[in-house]
Structure 1
């Protein structure tokens, strides 16, 4: 079982690391999902996510596709995007993933794994938005 603290980690790098471990057969738990970051300008990131949210079925919008707004669901969806989720191997891997906002009592004090090259300090730019902040702007609640 691998426990990853998502605080100040770049979402894409966190997702690729987690997906790799899931495909290797390990259980992955991501804590502090709302504190992960997406690099780039805030307004540009927000615009692209809003456009993505508006994507619906032309014939019947109630049929979807449905897009996540809550921070843990945004992180879960990013990880799912790096898995072959339409194949049995990918579905099994995705079932081994757990994502939490904050740190539940059962995981407090446990050792977390460092994701290489994913920390905010290693980012070449200071332009970023936190997943929790993005979620609030999209109307998600947590």
Structure 2
């Protein structure tokens, strides 16, 4: 069974930890609207943290680690850090996660879920994963 989660206005780390637990339990999950996932903190600090991760890999010499720039891949990379990636069970769980920017046609009429753990009232400063992606130079909006 496939669970469809709408990522609009959900908190990045909380959503990633909920999804990591569920894919490790064998559930297949599809996340929609990855560009609208919220990252709390001041915009400058969030942008600097992601920029530092992207700059860590040297693409001219083909030396990693290579960090993604697209919003959907940024979210997948966050979930990847929360599962045992080096084990077989972690790799299989990672294959059960599908993340999309926007909403594809096949998921428009589906019933969408919003995990209660990731829904919090935002009282401070925040930015979206789409804004971070745009800052990093992604062409996918």
- TM-score after normalising by structure 1: 0.92
What is the CA–CA distance in structure 2 between the aligned matches of 1:89 and 1:66, rounded to whole Å?
A: 23
CA RMSD of aligned residues (A): 1.3
Aligned to 2:125: 127
> Matched residue pairs, number?
138
**Structure 2 gap segments, 5+ residues each:** none
Deviation at 1:63, TM superposition (A): 2.1
**Structure 1 gap segments, 5+ residues each:** none
Q: Secondary structure at the match of 1:62?
A: coil
Aligned to 2:112: 112
Deviation at 1:33, TM superposition (A): 0.3
Deviation at 1:128, TM superposition (A): 0.6
Deviations 1:61-94 (A, max 9, x none): 4121100100000011111111111100000000
Which deviates more from structure 2 when the two are superposed, residues 107-116 or residues 128-137?
107-116
What is the CA–CA distance in structure 2 between the aligned matches of 1:119 and 1:126, rounded to whole Å?
A: 14
- Displaced runs of 4+ in structure 1, greater than 4 A? none
Aligned to 1:101: 101
